[in-house]
Amino acid sequence: MKANRRILLLVLGAVMSAGVFVHLTQPPALAAAPKSSHANNGSTAARWSVQVDKVDPGDVDLSSSFQIAIYESLLDELSKTNQFKQVLRDGDRNANGVSDLLILKTKVEKYTAGSETKRAVTTVAGATKLTVRSQLCTRDGHIVLERTVDGNVRFLGSNLRATHNLARNVAKTIKKASLPEASSSAP
């Protein structure tokens, strides 16, 4: 029995070593191929940069932690899309030198506080829900894209998970939209 375990461990070690060796010796062109096809998805928006403004709570009583979580999640999710040259924060001084800049404005329209405890006990109560109006605008205020987007947590997860889901939905909405071509002119 011990001999079988030793043989099994040797075989597993050899297979794992071979897999690591193959991965490390793979030519860089093959490793980069999936990224290049993802980055060049045919979208004309690849030349735009985007600046994410702070979240406007509107008339909704939304805690500052939720506002910050939405803002940070938007920055993260928009960066993941690889659709923009740069994703800039509100007040970033580098934005002044960017010629083709879109500004993402997010205003909370509805918020329903949820309960993690209720979600853990039952699957029909305790959902956290967020609805926002997102606008992509040019520097001069021309609205390029305007959508109402929802984010929620219905089953498991913390209440702040709704902010992540919302940001992911905003990023998906922007990625699916057809944005005008960037003009490549000076600001």
Query: Per-block average pLDDT, block size 10, for the chain (187 residues)?
Result: 61 52 41 36 61 95 92 96 93 89 96 83 82 94 94 79 92 91 63
Residue 157 near residue 23 (C-beta atoms within 8 A): no
Residue 127 near residue 119 (C-beta atoms within 8 A): yes
Structure tokens belonging to residue 171 = 């990023």
Residue 176 near residue 147 (C-beta atoms within 8 A): no
Q: 48, 62, 76: which is closest to 136 by C-alpha?
A: 48
Looking at residue 94, its pLDDT comes to: 87
Looking at residue 75, its pLDDT comes to: 96
Structure tokens belonging to residue 134 = 């997102």
DSSP 39-55: H-SS-GGGG-EEEEPPP
Domain spans, the chain? 1-40, 44-176
CATH class, domain 44-176, is alpha beta
Structure tokens belonging to residue 174 = 């922007």
Looking at residue 7, its pLDDT comes to: 67
pTM: 0.71
Looking at residue 158, its pLDDT comes to: 78
Helix 161-176 × helix 64-80 angle, to 10°: 40
Give the separation between CA 117 and CA 54, rounded to whole angstroms: 30
Give the separation between CA 43 and CA 4, rounded to whole angstroms: 56
When computed from its CA atoms, the radius of gyration of the chain, rounded to whole angstroms, is 23
